[in-house]
Amino acid sequence: MFSAGIAFGFDEKILIKMITINFRKAFTLLAAVLALNTIHAQDPKDIENDKTVKVQNIINAKDFVFVAESALPMGGRTIFLTSPYNVSVSNDSLITDLPYFGRAYSAPINPAEGGIRFTSTDFEYKVQARKKGGWDILIIPKDTRDVRQLFLSASENGVASLQVTSNNRQLISFTGFIKERNK
């Protein structure tokens, strides 16, 4: 069968072993190349850059939701929120559903209006990039009675803090994250 191998002084079994060893080396080399390619494709810097671009795009497009995870009233302790509270920003509306803890200078007539809940269709929206990464967003609703401004500071990975300044209440801060708005 392997007359060429015998002519050169090789045994059939030795020739099969050599072919098998070369095949294994080639297969191992191919597997290593594919593994390195996969590792490179999942480089953490690439993933981080993708997240940064996504956060920047939703901020610039005015199409995101700030999800509050904790509240920090003036002169108080951090309160971790167990219910979903958020601020939804789109091109045509600002919908705010946040709790309020702190001192109010005048109480609302309706007790259901105790938190920071309003919908605004007339608001200013200004974005400024920070020097060391992230964005500062100033939102000034023009059609609400109590809230003067919302100041949102977002990092490149989506972690954010929100300060709400009101006419009739002390300032309150929230920490959380921003994400793409469900449409």
22 and 64 fall within a common domain: no
Q: Provide the domain limits for residue 76.
A: 48-180
122 and 97 fall within a common domain: yes
Rounded average pLDDT over 146-175: 93
Read off the pLDDT of residues 23-71 as tens digits, 9 standing for 90 and up. Answer: 666 666 666 666 666 555 455 556 667 788 888 999 999 999 999 999 9
62 and 98 fall within a common domain: yes
pLDDT at 141: 94
69 and 135 fall within a common domain: yes
What's this model's pTM, rounded to 2 decimal places? 0.72
33 and 65 fall within a common domain: no
90 and 7 fall within a common domain: no
Domain count, the chain: 2
User: In what order do the strands lie in the sheet containing 64-73?
Assistant: 116-120, 94-98, 79-89, 64-73, 172-180, 159-166, 147-154, 135-141, 123-129
72 and 138 fall within a common domain: yes
pLDDT at 95: 94
Range of weakest confidence among 82-91, 105-114, 115-124: 105-114
Percent of the chain with pLDDT over 70: 71
153 and 136 fall within a common domain: yes
161 and 83 fall within a common domain: yes
Q: How far is CA 21 from CA 9, 10, 26, 41, in A?
A: 19, 16, 9, 30
Q: Give yes or no for residue 98 having a pLDDT over 50.
A: yes
CATH code, 115: 2.40.128.410
32 and 96 fall within a common domain: no
